[in-house]
A and B are shown apart, each in its own frame.
Chain A
Amino acid sequence: MSDPPPIRILLAKLGFDGHDRGLKVIARTLRDAGFEVIYLGLRQTAGSVVIAAEQEDVAVIGISMHNGGHLTLGPMMVRAVADAGLEIPVVIGGIVPAEDVPTLREHGIFAVLGPGTALETVVATIHAAAATHDGMVG
């Protein structure tokens, strides 16, 4: 068992927004980069994401947003994670204008992967996020 175990990441979309093309491409990209992707899919709430994240013991939560609700839902997601006593970095992908990124970072979003982000950047960002997650026992 010399290889490190795969990093577990949770991917989801919140609310009505049904644009999941990007999320599915990211799921496949991370699978092929050796991650274990817990795919929650559409119509999640911050609460359902937190429940899944603690049961699945994931290192990163990835949320995809295409409906312009990121300034509300992003901070809400970070708060829900903190309220549950979890220390799991939250990454947002999808349509997020560059001008909103500093605000999201201030609210504790680890990174924002906007339109046209190269796949290798996605993988590197998730690795960086996972590295901040508190470590495993043993």
Chain B
Amino acid sequence: MDTDATSPAAAGPSPTATSDGTRVGTTTLGGVPVEAVYGGADLGEPGEYPYTRGAYASMYRDKLWTMRMFAGFGLVADTNRRFHELLAAGVTGLSTAFDMPTLMGRDSDHPWSVGEVGRAGVAVDTLADMDDLFAGIDLGGVTTSMTINGPAVTVMAMYIAVADRRGTPRAALGGTIQNDILKEYQAQKEYIFPPAPSVRLVTDLMRFTSAELPRWHPVSVSGYHIREAGSTAAQELGFTLANGFAYVEAAVRAGLTADEAARRMSFFFNAHADFFEEIGKYRAARRIWARWLRERWAVTDERALRLRFHAQTSGVSLTAQQPEVNIARVALQALAAVLGGTQSLHTDAYDEALALPSEHAARLALRTQQVVAYETGAARVADPLGGSAYVEWMTDELERRAEAIFSHIDELGQGSMLDGVIAGIESGYFTGEIADAAYRYERELAAGERIVVGVNEFTEASAPPPSLQTIDPRIESEQRTRLDAVRRDRSSEAVARALACVAEHAGDPTRNVMPAIIEAVHAHATVGEVTAALEAVFGGYTEAAVA
């Protein structure tokens, strides 16, 4: 699970990362007073169009970035216990990571779920699971982040159904669901249905939350996984923003205005090793987003033009060799994200190259963010590198490279970014480009043209790497028992009726599937059953036939 602010288990009684921006200070260590921003009018101002220098005027002086930390495991009761610990420590945002079967929209008794139940996140099959996950928690009083894509509609429906049952108004629900299916085909590969009907599910959820859950963020457009799959920084920038444009276009086709659609969208980028390239990437992202929205969709709402993002340090940049060196890598990557103006940050634990993070390593990762926030002074001034000839050039150059990618996608789609992204997915354009970039990097590494400390230079005979965290096999059998109990106690007629309704609405593109899915999960249809009902209409998807 990610957690807003510090986890008590991970961080002890240290300062939590709240909106207490004054703690970053206004004077240097030597007592020199500094302004909130430097630079002439020609550089532009943070908080002003096109937002190259930052989403907000005074950046971290007003509000420090949110520190999110990953942990997550097991049965709903385990995660619920952790939620309560976090809430007791003053955290107001909960963040849920789901296990692989749930992410793939399958139940815990699916043949492929063996060994996966509760391993990399929590297992959720039924409404009872969702209810127990948030047992004793006022859903109107917290914000919840859910990292899920393929079955996002079903999981969202379960969250809403739990609120319905508890009498919590839907309008009071706040939070984020990742719900970015396009990058699944391009990079993370946790897709279920073909791209076109999957995008329709994304826009159904956007329309639904726009009408009924105005505090909800229905899409977090994610470049993180594209980069982890091997893309370059320019490709991460270009593909991710193209996906963002595609969602805006899809939402407009579905009847929302571009302002409405973009206002509730946020982004999620990688914080990788090449320091200045990363900073240029974040700056270019803000500028491109604002410019394209204004020029292509005539968006005027500042909340829509202003790109806000979460960043996470790069998992693939961590090495199994000399793992302590990863602490230094994470620190520098975190600093790049902060100098690039991130709104929220997750720092990886140094032992993640081979294992789920240990508690000790997760605490060090959080401490690293706190050092960046409170000791370096990096948070004191907005866009401190703005005006550097190199950083400005890098920003421009990455923008140019992203624009070249947009031109290609626009051409694939004959003037439509949505059609272009889907065509690029089906033809294997994205996966081919990403795999080629990953291969180029590996060859440069093999040839010694790039150096990774401890891997191809400065190597040491190292101790055996840590082992993968093992998960108690009882978790799987207990979760199956829970699932069996729900299946036994429910009305199978009501479930069949509700699932038939889901299929019928899925087959009618003029309808929104959300109400039917909410009804189905109220009737105790499982995640896997809703997936199957949708799959019967939409079909499945196999990756493009290009390696």
Contact = CB atoms under 8 A, between A and B. Distances in A.
A68 B468 CA distance: 7
Interface stretch (B122-130, B394-402, B439-447): B439-447
Contacts of B230: 21, 24-25
A19 B315 CA distance: 13
A118 interface: yes
Contacts of A16: 100-101, 103-104, 106, 112-113, 116
B119 A29 contact: no
A97 interface: yes
B100 A67 contact: yes
A42 B188 CA distance: 11
B442 A67 contact: no
Contact of A95 (B103, B115, B464, B468): B468
A119 B446 CA distance: 7
B209 interface: no
B446 A115 contact: no
Interface of B is mostly: loop
Contacts, number: 88
Given A29-B439, A67-B100, A20 B189 contact: yes
A34 interface: no
Interface string B431-452: 1001110110011001000000
Interface in B75-134: 100-101, 103-104, 106, 112-116, 119
Interface string A35-73: 001010111000000000000000000000001110010
A67 B115 contact: yes
A41 B442 contact: no
A46 to B, nearest CB: 12
A99 B354 contact: no
Contacts of A24: 230, 431, 435, 438-439, 547
Contacts of B320: 115-116
B543 interface: yes
A68 B119 CA distance: 10
A4 B542 CA distance: 34
B510 interface: no
Interface in B181-227: 188-190
B124 to A, nearest CB: 15
Contacts of B101: 16
Contacts of A15: 112, 116
Contacts of B34: none
B442 to A, nearest CB: 5
A18 B104 CA distance: 10
Contacts of B455: 116
A97 B467 contact: yes
A28 to B, nearest CB: 4
A29 B115 contact: no
B468 A41 contact: no
Contacts of A69: 114-116
Residue of B101, B114, B464, B468 ringed by the most chain A CB atoms within 10 A: B468
25 contacts: A16-B101, A16-B112, A16-B116, A18-B188, A19-B189, A21-B230, A25-B442, A28-B435, A28-B436, A28-B439, A39-B547, A41-B542, A42-B189, A67-B100, A67-B115, A68-B115, A68-B119, A95-B468, A97-B465, A97-B468, A98-B464, A99-B467, A115-B320, A118-B446, A120-B446
Interface of B: 100-101, 103-104, 106, 112-116, 119, 188-190, 228-230, 316, 319-321, 353-354, 431, 434-436, 438-439, 442-443, 446, 455, 464-468, 470, 542-543, 547
Interface of A: 15-21, 24-25, 27-29, 37, 39, 41-43, 67-69, 72, 95, 97-99, 115-116, 118-120
